[in-house]
Each structure stands twice: as C-alpha cells, then as structure tokens.
Amino acid sequence: MNIIQVQDYEEMSEQGAEFLFREIMSGRSKVIGLATGGTPVGLYKHLVEKINANEVSLTDVHTVNLDEYIGLSDDHPNSYHQYMFQNLFQYIDIPSANRHLPSGTAADFSEECRRYERLIQQLGGVDTQLLGIGANGHIAFNEPGSPFDGRTRVVDLAPATIEANSRYFNEGETVPSQAVTMGIGTIMESGRIVMIASGKEKAAAVKEMLTGEVTEDCPATVLQKHDDVTLIADAEALSEIDVKNIQ
C-alpha cells in the first residue's frame, strides 16, 4: 500500500482532492466511486475549487456512491443523496443522470441491489474508489464480519456506527439502523482505491488495516490484497504505527 503521510485534516483533504483531480484530468478515471461521512467533506471542498478554477467539464464522468441509509428519501437532509448534492454535485457539472447512489426507499431492495451491481458492470467498473474507514475497521457499511466476496446488499449497522452517525441527526430523530452498501467484493474490483483517514479515533483501525492479519473481523484489512491502494492519512491517524517499517 502506498502511504502518503500528511500533517492534519486540511492537508489530507487537499492531497485527497489532488489525487482525484489528477485521475479525472488524466482521463484515466471516468467512473469515480465516492464516499460520504465527516472525513471527505474537506476533500470535496478542495475538489470543487480545483475543478472550477481550471474550468474542467465533467459531463462524461460518472460517480457511483458506496451506500445509502434505508428509510431516508433522496431529499431527506441526512440522506447521502443530499450529502452529495450539498458537498459536491451542486457545484459541478456532472449530469444528474451520471450521479449514482443506491436508493434508500426502493420498493424491492433485492432488486435495487441487483440493479446497482448491474449498473457498475454496465459502466465498466469503478476506475477510482474513494474510501473512508470506520473506527471499527468498516469500509462503506461493511461492518466487522462482512464477507470479503460480498456484493451490494442490505446490511444492519453496527451499534458503534449508529452511535457515530447519530451526531448528524436531530435529538429525538431515529438514526437509521440499516443501509444498502456496496459489498467488499464490489469494492475490491475497483481499479484503484484511495483511502483518507484523519484523527486519533481512526488510529487503531488504520494500524490494524496496515499491519493486522487479513480477516473479515476487520474489513479494511482486505485492502492488503488490492494492488493499487493509496492511503492518505494524517499524523493522528498514523500515530499507532511506524510507517517506515511498513513501506
């Protein structure tokens, strides 16, 4: 794994945006897998600045998001559809038909999961996938114990994940307990993966991912088996390992 060590959240965001920007500009990546959560917010801000400063048109780019909460409509303020609109899509010219997320309100979720897998295949697969990491080692909503060959499916969120995400919901509002997520098998088929990590609460998971046994108990360890992964992580996220001994 290629590890880019940075100082802090701001530098991680800038470097992560630069990574995706270069992928897009080179024409290498036409299908970009996107992530949500607290970590990528700064990355998207920098990406928008770079795209607009360089007057880049993205009309031939497709985006494919990792996941969506079950029970939240596309226009719910806490849905990942809204997150993507607020943080990225409203500022750039990727056509709405090219922005793909699973639906959180499908009538038939089995069919929705199959549709999403088909869609990714029809696009020719994800060229570059952006990932965050959960403090419990999850990637997308693939919680500990998720199968390495899993495809897009409905999952129950781990109590720790529900707790971590409750900060985005108003008091009294129910935090969704299920989601549709790309599976680990789906994610591993991406041509290139870039993971961003910031903060000491991610340090143990980052250490496990880089140095631990490859096991479904810590989903991110599967990335040791992918041959094109770049981790951009700040000092706190890397505080439990000696990077020199890994590379």
Binding site for ligand PGA (CB under 6 A): 37-39, 132-134, 138
Residue 210: in which H helix or E strand, if any? Answer: helix 203-211
Query: β-strands 31-34, 67-69: how paired?
Result: unpaired
Annotation marks residue 234 as catalytic: no
Identify which of residues 31 and 187 has a Cβ nearer to ligand PGA in the complex: 187
Instruction: Tell me which of 67, 127, 208, 236 is the catalytic residue.
Output: 67
Identify which of residues 81 and 98 has a Cβ nearer to ligand PGA in the complex: 81
Instruction: Tell me which of 65, 87, 136, 165 is the catalytic residue.
Output: 136
Closest to 199 measured CA to CA, from 10, 48, 1, 4: 10
Annotation marks residue 136 as catalytic: yes
The nearest distance, CB 198 to ligand PGA, in angstroms, is: 8
Annotation marks residue 143 as catalytic: yes
Rounded to whole angstroms, the Cα distance separating 233 from 202 reads 10
The nearest distance, CB 217 to ligand PGA, in angstroms, is: 17
Identify which of residues 133 and 209 has a Cβ nearer to ligand PGA in the complex: 133
Annotation marks residue 98 as catalytic: no
Identify which of residues 37 and 191 has a Cβ nearer to ligand PGA in the complex: 37
E strands in the chain: 2-6, 31-34, 62-65, 67-69, 99-100, 128-131, 153-156, 178-181, 192-197, 229-234
SS3 track for 181-194: ECCHHHHHCCCEEE
Instruction: Tell me which of 14, 23, 143, 236 is the catalytic residue.
Output: 143
The nearest distance, CB 145 to ligand PGA, in angstroms, is: 16
Active-site residue list: 67, 136, 138, 143
